[in-house]
Amino acid sequence: MKPVVGATPRVVKSDQEWREGLSPEEYAVLRQAATERPFTGEYTDTHDTGVYECRACGAELFRSETKFDSHCGWPSFFDPADSEAVLLREDRAMGMKRIEVLCASCHSHLGHVFEGEGYGTPTDQRYCINSIALRMVPQG
């Protein structure tokens, strides 16, 4: 994974420690920026109330109040739980320009953010996040 310029992760582990703490599928997405297949993730259609944490480090990333049905195949959120919960960086992989979303605490890959798609959310953004990168903690 490419380092994020100007940002230091609060959770730092060796590659071996990440491999030991994550399943092979989790490691591929979180540490190698892979993408899970659409419509296969645990949280794609979840509507429970709770907090979505980074599966790698436990940092709070999103809240259920900002989750919406985009029908894109991955969980979608219109805003992070905190303005500093995620980091954004340009991603030119796969022959296109996108904005990658990373956990600010451990710099794990979460997914991508898109703007101007017309979903009618308060931010006009869609944080398209891999379910396997998240852990939902129910509340209420």
b/e map 31-63, b = 16+ CB within 10 Å: bebebbeeeebebbebeeebbbbbbbbebebbb
Structure-token pair, residue 95: 């022959």
Partner residues linked to 38 by β-bridges = none
Catalytic: 128? yes
Residues 6+ apart with CB under 8 A from 71: none
Give phi and psi for 24, each to the nearest 5: -55, -40
Catalytic annotation, pick one of 54, 57, 103, 128: 128
For 51, how many CA atoms within 13 A lie in the half-sphere containing its CB? 13
Q: Helix (H, G, I), strand (E, B), or coil: what is residue 134?
A: strand
**Residues with catalytic roles:** 128
